[in-house]
Each structure stands twice: as structure tokens, then as C-alpha cells.
Amino acid sequence: MAVRTLIRHLQYMWASFILKVHIILDSAVKTAGPLYILLALSLLSCIIYLYYTAVLPAVHQLNSVEGIAHLIVSIWLIYNVFFNYYWCIQSDPGSPPLEFDLGADMSQYETGAPVPQMRWCKRCRKAKPPMTHHCHICKRCILKMDHHCPWMHNCIGFYNYRYFFVFLLYLWSGCIYTVYMASIPLFGTASQEQTSGKVNGVLFTFVLSLAVFGSLSCLLGWHIYLVLTAQTTIDFYGNRQRRREARRSGQVWVNEFDVGKMQNLRNVLDASGDRLWWLKLWLPLRTLPRGDGIRFPSRYGSPDAASGGNSSSRHSPPNPYSTSIASSSRESVSNGDGENNWRPANMV
């Protein structure tokens, strides 16, 4: 009996220690957020400065047609990078409202669909819509939370994920462009007169841009996969566990939010609902995503807010679970912060 009591006491002490470590780490990440932003801006500014003072003059004369063309392209890339970075930091990712209306009209969904059930956040003491998770650093639930990004000093969620994704896309493109331009005087046929006194700056720019490009390729590739499969980083791990559990029971788990790769892509990037939505990715636009962050398109019945070209829904007040049973309708109720939501109705 004494041994069991000692073991329980040690387990309690260990759990308390781990909890304190988590609290300290969360506070450290939140406190260091502005430093991460400063470091990111310094890194970007360093590459930009070296590009204009060493790389571009070593490739083209700035008063030539080619030099002016590269100047325009680089300014366009830089502006889009900083525009999306700024608004990703400034935009609130969104939190679920306090009240949920479960008195829904279920007529638009499949016959025989399960009755909606909610997950519950014991920290915020309110219901959590599909793909909503509690951020231990921000101390609140975040709509369609992907992760807390220290480089943004913000959570990446429903209302700023598009800015985050486009930021990665433009920064990755800018790195490719800089690596290409820096490789010309290093490995190409640039004249010795142009490269004179700029070799060290060009080489440093090439190495730094190549390193950032390598890291961004992995990160951007990961988020492209998540977008095309209609998942967030957090939900990916939960879905993987559900898929394993389904496989052990001889079934196949299906992600109900996956409505096809192209439609999944549009659900994230198409903020206007028109056919030329992809053209607007070339422009720095401040826009809200379609939908409310609570209802999502589902292969079991898509809300009007997320299908077709209805973009007006992004201006309407959220009405969680009023007509959506996208994820929580097939989930079991969880009284903790853990995503204990294995969904038998998703088995085929």
C-alpha cells in the first residue's frame, strides 16, 4: 500500500512538473513573439538590401530595360511578401461565439444523418465548432486553428490562414528568384566589370536565399498538402489516429471535409467566388474568407456559405451548428481539450 501511494505521489509530482514546464514555455513563446518578428524582418531586409546593392547591379545595369524590368518584378514580390505578412500578424484568426443554436433545419442534409453533437472546451467553457482548437499560448479557442506561429506572434486560423499561405507562396517565389539572379554572376557569364567588388555580397545572398528556400519548400509543400486534403496541421494528426483506429476495425475512415482537391483549394484561396479567383492571387488584396469559420463544406452536405459563389455569407453573423453538421455532427462529445473525436459515421 505504501509503495502504491509513493508511486501515485511521484506520478502527481511528475505531472505537475510537466504542466509547469508547459506554462513556462508558452509564456516564453508569447513573450518572444515581437523578437521573432524583428528577426524575420531583419532577415528579409538583409536579403533585399544585398539584392539591390550587389546582385542586381552585378547582373544588369539599373538604367537598362532589363534592369528596370527586374526592378519592377522584385518590387512586386517584396510588396506582396510584406503585405501578406503584415495582415497575417494583424488579422484576428477568429474565436467561436459563446452561444450555439442547435435548433437547426436538417432538411438540406442526408436522410438519417446523426444528430449533431458538440465538443466542449473545458478551459473556455464553451462549445468548439469543427476544426476549432484551444491555443495554450493565446489562452482561447481559435476557429480552424492550424498552429500558433511565433514568427507571426499570432495563431494561424480561419481569418488569417489565406494571408499566411499566400505569404509563404510569395516568399518562396522570391527566394527562387533571388537564387536565380545571384547564380548568374557566380556561375554565369556576367562581365568581370559588373561583378567587381560584389562577389562576397552576391555569394552571401545566394547562400542565405538558398537556405531559406530549402526550409520554405518543406513548409510550403506541407501546407499545400494540407490545403488539398482539407486539413489543418492539428487535425492531420487527429485524422491519422482515426484512420488507424478505423483500419484496425476493418473499416475505412473518410475525411468528410475533403470535397476534392480543386474545391478544397478554392475553399481556402477563393475569397470572391468568381471564376477568375486565381488571378487575384497576383494582387495584394485584403479580403475575408468565405464562410464563418464554423460551418464548412462537407461531402455529407455542404452549407451554402461554403459552396458555389455565395460570397455574401462572409459578412453575415456566425450561426454555428444552425445548419452545419460538418464535423461535430459525427463526433463524440469531448469534455477535455484533447480531440477525442473518432467518428463512426465517417466509416465506409
pLDDT tens figures, 264-279: 999 999 877 778 888 8
Q: How many residues does the chain have?
A: 348
- Judge if pTM exceeds 0.95: no
Q: pLDDT band at 328, cuts 50/70/90?
A: very low
DSSP-assigned letter for residue 160: T
Mean pLDDT of 160-169: 96
What are the CA-CA distances from residue 170 to residues 74, 267, 330 (Å)? 11, 19, 37
What was the pLDDT predicted at 3? 79
- Which of 11-15, 88-92, 183-187, 255-259 is predicted most confidently? 88-92
Q: E strand or H helix at 238, and its extent? A: helix 233-248
Lowest mean pLDDT among 45-54, 161-170, 199-208, 310-319: 310-319
Q: Has residue 186 got a pLDDT over 90?
A: no
Q: Has residue 335 got a pLDDT over 50?
A: no
Mean pLDDT of 239-258: 91
Q: pLDDT band at 114, cuts 50/70/90?
A: very low
Mean pLDDT of the chain: 80
Q: pLDDT band at 189, cuts 50/70/90?
A: low
pLDDT tens digits, residue range 209-241? 999 999 999 999 999 999 999 999 999 999 999
pLDDT tens digits, residue range 44-72? 999 999 999 999 998 888 889 999 999 99
Extract the C-alpha cell encoding 22.
508547459
Q: pLDDT band at 191, cuts 50/70/90?
A: low
Could you tell me which of 135, 136, 148, 158 has the C-alpha nearest to residue 320?
158
What was the pLDDT predicted at 311? 37
Could you tell me which of 177, 195, 178 has the C-alpha nearest to residue 186?
195
Lowest mean pLDDT among 111-115, 164-168, 323-327: 323-327
Higher pLDDT, 159 or 118: 159
- Report the phi/psi class of residue 163: left, alpha or beta, with left for phi > 0 and alpha for psi in -120 to 50: alpha
- Distance separating alpha carbons of residues 178 and 64, to the nearest angstrom: 19
Q: pLDDT band at 108, cuts 50/70/90?
A: very low
Higher pLDDT, 21 or 284: 284
Higher pLDDT, 177 or 6: 177
What was the pLDDT predicted at 148? 94
Lowest mean pLDDT among 66-80, 169-183, 285-299: 285-299
pLDDT tens digits, residue range 73-83? 999 999 999 99
Handedness of CA 244, 245, 251, 256 (dihedral sign): negative
Extract the C-alpha cell encoding 25.
514555455
What was the pLDDT predicted at 277? 84
What was the pLDDT predicted at 44? 94
Mean pLDDT of 239-263: 91
The number of helix segments (H) and strand segments (E) in the chain equals: 9, 6
| Cβ-contact 132, 144 below 8 angstroms | yes
Could you tell me which of 164, 142, 162 has the C-alpha nearest to residue 152?
164
| Cβ-contact 177, 183 below 8 angstroms | no
What was the pLDDT predicted at 10? 81
- Distance separating alpha carbons of residues 120 and 124, to the nearest angstrom: 9
> What does the radius of gyration of the chain's CA atoms come to, in whole angstroms?
24
- Using a CB cutoff of 8 Å and minimum separation of 24, what contacts does 217-221 make? 217/172, 219/168, 220/168, 220/169, 220/172
- Distance separating alpha carbons of residues 325 and 112, to the nearest angstrom: 12
Q: Has residue 326 got a pLDDT over 70?
A: no
- Distance separating alpha carbons of residues 94 and 144, to the nearest angstrom: 8
- Distance separating alpha carbons of residues 256 and 298, to the nearest angstrom: 5
